[in-house]
Amino acid sequence: MQTFYFTDPGKVRSHNEDSVVIINNDHNEFVIAVADGMGGHKAGEVASAIAIEHIRESFYSLETIGTKEEAIDWLRMIVKEINEKIFEYADKNPESKGLGTTLVIAIKTDDYILYGNIGDSSGYVIKNNTLHKVTKDHTYVGMLLNNGRLTEETAKNHPGKNLLTRALGANDPIEIDIFDIDTSVKGLFLCSDGLTNMLTDEQIEKTLNSNLPIEEVVVKLIKKANARGGTDNISIAYLKKESGDD
pLDDT at 244: 60
Instruction: Decide: residue 23, CB within 10 A, 0-12 exposed, 13-18 middle, 19+ buried.
Output: middle
For the chain, the domains span 2-240
Q: Is the pLDDT of residue 162 over 90?
A: no
The DSSP output letter for 154 is H
Neighbours of 232 (CB within 10 A): 24
pLDDT tens by residue, 195-219: 999 999 999 999 999 989 999 999 9
pTM: 0.94
B/e letters for 53-64, b = 16+ CB within 10 Å, e = fewer, are: ebbeebbeeeee
Rg for the chain, CA atoms, rounded: 17
Give the three-state DSSP class for 179: strand
Of the candidates 139, 135, 118, the one whose C-alpha atom is nearest the C-alpha of residue 188 is 135
Q: Is the pLDDT of residue 111 over 70?
A: yes
Q: Which CATH superfamily is domain 2-240 in?
A: PPM-type phosphatase domain (3.60.40.10)
Of the candidates 59, 61, 36, 58, the one whose C-alpha atom is nearest the C-alpha of residue 49 is 36
pLDDT tens by residue, 60-102: 999 999 999 999 999 999 999 999 999 999 999 988 888 999 9
